[in-house]
Amino acid sequence: MLKLPDSLQSFGIQDTVKTDLYINGAWRAGAEGKRIDVLDPSTGKTIASVADATVEDGMAAVKAAHDALPGWAATAPRQRGEILRKCWELMMARSEMFARLISLENGKALPDARGEVAYAAEFFRWFSEEAVRLNGDFSIAPSGNNKILVTQQPIGVAVLVTPWNFPAAMATRKIGPALAAGCSVVLKPATETPLTAYAMAALMEEAGVPKGVVNVLTTSSSGKLVSAMLHDARVRKLSFTGSTAVGRKLLVEAADQVINCSMELGGNAPFVVFDDADLDKALDGAMLAKMRNGGEACTAANRFYVQSGIAERFAKGLAERMGQMQVGAGYAEGVACGPLINQGAVDQMGDLVKDAVAKGARVLTGGSASGGDGFYFPPTVLTGVSGDAEMVRDEIFGPIAPISVFETVDEAVAMSNDSEYGLIAYVYTEDLKKGLQVAERFEAGMVGLNRGLVSDPAAPFGGVKQSGLGREGAHHGIMEFCETKYIAVSW
């Protein structure tokens, strides 16, 4: 049973969310009967417990997915698409319930949670339309001896591993294309935010997804369980979103069975502001790029590089905006910045600020946790951050904006590319030619040019370097779950 705050009692959450494993269309306890506590980051208190899956449960989920695969792969693309569209309709009809559930277990402010629900649901609708667009090719061999027929087939059973920062969107961004392509899946959500995944499992069942096609399990032994699944010959695909460190380990595991991998890993996004930028637009974009989900996003602006002529005004404006954000329980109306996911994240933010200050940075607003219940850290802006500060070298994943100054275009590009990551970069300038030239020079899979928000189900999402392999969204997303088959034929 969920323990809901009074403000959430009227949103149907308790009636909607299951807390057991979802395997082969049935809700069941873990093989050993153990449970995992789920906390409300806004209070630090336990709100529920979910089943703790064992390797045995993981194998049961793989078997269910494998048994369901032939029937689902043979289902007409239009029918698969209509089921996905029904998922979109149901999710949008219950959008407020999902938003409050996400806020409850994740901590994000309601405006962010509502945005995530709309974004997450759109992957169901987008891939409902892509299901009927898996076209092949036909050509004549150059020799003229045979015809070349190329078709796309579902890759098979897919293991999907998702993080806690976007518990709905990271799941639908994988489930949507997998089901559209004709694959069956085993979803392993993060233990911090499992309730949203289980609510979606119930929704998909209601929408008509056959039993075994989608299986969901939570576990306190992620490494052991995922490794076992990746060493099962029935599994042919891994789609992972999470840290680069974990992604590297999973790639090693997947190599043993030569499993196809899509990896959406860490980011360290530069946010470059040139002197000729519109200051207000740049500040608007900075707030979007930095404070979406309280900074707990792989696409969050991580390093602010501002040209010297506008740097002082930009820093002052950003500090004013960040300092005015209302911090509090994510599900409380009017709150703009909710808590972080756990106490470890709060401690990490404090350590990052101390390190930067010790290396010469100056805090303009925020900078230290106030203590008390919940996992809160205030929106923070620092200037004069040196290039060797830890918050510049690695992903912050929190509400901290470090600002450094540059002089020339070449310097800005060099500073931006000085990272092992390459997920996304942002640039603000009123000179379109310069903006496009800089965008081409960024070592990043995505670029926001005068935009602080770039994610779109219709666009290919993904990075380069240590930020991952493959793309999600767009038509590219469904191709990640397909095998290309060539048939040589004569007549």
Beta pairing class for 45-51 and 35-40: antiparallel
Could you give the 3-state DSSP secondary structure of residue 428? Answer: strand
298 in active site: yes
Which one of 264, 296, 472, 480 is the catalytic residue?
Answer: 264
The token pair at 184 is 């069956």
Based on DSSP, count helices (H) and strands (E) in the chain, helices before strands.
16, 22
Looking only at Cα atoms, what is the longest distance across the chain? 77
**Alpha carbon distance 198, 173 (integer Å):** 16
- DSSP collapsed to 3 states, 264-297: ECCCCEEEEECCCCCHHHHHHHHHHHHHHHHHCC
89 in active site: no
**Alpha carbon distance 209, 205 (integer Å):** 5
Are 442 and 412 within 8 A, CB to CB?
no
**Alpha carbon distance 128, 87 (integer Å):** 9
Which one of 261, 298, 337, 482 is the catalytic residue?
Answer: 298
**Alpha carbon distance 320, 323 (integer Å):** 5
Beta pairing class for 185-188 and 157-161: parallel
**Alpha carbon distance 69, 78 (integer Å):** 17
Are 237 and 156 within 8 A, CB to CB?
yes
According to DSSP, residue 325 is labeled P
What is the separation of C-alpha 298 from the centre of its chain, rounded to a whole number of angstroms? Answer: 7
Please state the φ and ψ torsions of residue 273, each to the nearest 5 degrees.
-120, 115
The token pair at 489 is 């034929």
Q: Which residues are catalytic?
A: 264, 298
